[in-house]
Amino acid sequence: MKKSIKILSFFLAVIVIFGSFSVSAFAKEFAPTFDISNPGIQTQYLYDSNNPSWVRKLVVKEDMLSTQGIFTELALYPVTDYPYTNDAKGFNAEVEEYVETYTLDEESQRAAYIYFLEQVGALSIISDPSASDKSKADWLRQQGIVITAEDEADADKVLMISALYAMMKNDLYYVYTGEHLTIPAGTPLEEAIVLYVSALSGNQSSLSSFISKFFGSNSLGDLEDYIYYTSLMALYTNGYVSAKEIATITRQEVYRRVAIMAIRDYGLAIDSENATTEELQKKYLTAMLGTQYSVKLDPDTLEKTAQNHSVAYYILQRMANEDAKLTISQNKYSYEACFKLVTQKTNRFDLKNEFYSDIYEYNIYLENNRETISINPTALNSNSVITINGTKISGGQYAKVSLLNVEKQMINIVCKNTDNGATKTSTYKLNIFQGTTPPPDSDLTGLIPTYGTTQSGTGGNSNANGTYAEVTLTIPGLPYVSGINGVASNLAGKILSLNDKGQLVDQQGNVISQSTFETLPEGYKYVLTDDGIIQAVFVGDTTDATDYIYGDEEKDDQARKLIIIVSVVICALLILALIITLILTKKKGKTKDEKTKARRAKEKAKKAKQEAKAARKSK
Write the pLDDT tens digit of every residue in 589-609: 444 455 555 666 666 666 666
The reply to whether 444 and 558 lie within a common domain is no
Residue 230 lies in a domain: no
500 and 368 together in one domain: yes
CA 330 to CA 36: how far, in whole Å?
38
Please state the φ and ψ torsions of residue 462, each to the nearest 5 degrees. -60, -35
Contact 187, 148 (CB under 8 A): no
Cα four-point dihedral sign 506, 509, 512, 516: negative
469 and 564, same domain (yes or no): no
Domain contains 101: no
Terminal C-alpha separation, the chain: 61
The yes-or-no verdict on residue 539 having pLDDT over 50 is yes
Task: Say if residues 77 and 363 touch (Cβ distance below 8 Å).
Answer: yes
- 373 part of a folded domain: yes
- Domain ends where: 472, 502, 519? 519
Number of domains in the chain: 2
The answer for 295, left when phi > 0, alpha when psi is -120 to 50, beta otherwise, is beta
Judge if 505 and 562 occupy the same domain.
Answer: no
560 in the same domain as 413: no
With a cut of 60, say whether residue 378 has pLDDT above it: yes
Whether 470 is covered by a domain: the verdict is yes
Within this chain, do residues 505 and 580 fall inside the same structural domain, yes or no? no
Q: Band the pLDDT of 231: cuts 50, 70, 90.
A: confident
Identify whether residues 427 and 575 lie together within a single domain: no
Pick from 4-13, 125-134, 170-179, 198-207: least confident: 4-13
Confidence of residue 273 (pLDDT cuts 50, 70, 90): confident
At a CB cut-off of 8 Å and minimum separation 6, what does 510 contact? Answer: 468, 516
Q: Is residue 449 within 8 Å of 397, Cβ to Cβ?
A: no
What integer is the mean pLDDT of 233-250? 89
Cα gap 482→9, rounded to integer Å: 5
Checking if the pLDDT of 502 tops 70, the result is no
Whether 105 maps to a domain, the answer reads no
Higher pLDDT, 409 or 555: 409
The residues with which 388 forms a beta bridge, in sequence order, are 391, 413
Mean pLDDT computed over every residue of the chain = 73
Please indicate, yes or no, whether residues 552 and 592 belong to a single structural domain of this protein.
Answer: yes
441 falls within a domain: yes
- Cβ-proximal residues to 340 (8 Å cutoff; 6+ apart), any chain: 88
pLDDT exceeds 90 at position 296? yes
Q: Any bridge partners for residue 392, and if so which?
A: 387
| Cα dihedral 506, 508, 514, 520 sign | positive
Give pLDDT, residue 31: 80
Give yes or no: residues 457 and 566 share one domain: no
- What's the mean pLDDT in 351-364? 95
**Confidence at residue 307, expressed as pLDDT on a 0 to 100 scale:** 92
Same domain assignment for residues 466 and 586 = no
Find the domain containing 572 and state its range.
548-601
Q: 506 and 415, same structural domain?
A: yes
Q: Are residues 468 and 573 in the same domain?
A: no
Cα within 13 Å of Cα(378), Cβ side? 24
Please report whether residue 131 resides in a domain: no
Do 564 and 466 form a contact (C-beta atoms < 8 A)?
A: yes
**Residue 256 located in a structural domain:** no
**Pairing status of strand 504-505 against strand 497-498:** antiparallel
Non-local CB neighbours of 379 within 8 Å, separated by 6+ positions: 53, 54, 55, 56, 386, 395, 415, 417, 458, 459, 460
What residues are paired with 368 via a beta bridge? Answer: 437
**Which residue from 415, 104, 451, 401 is spatially nearest to 254, judged by alpha carbons?**
104
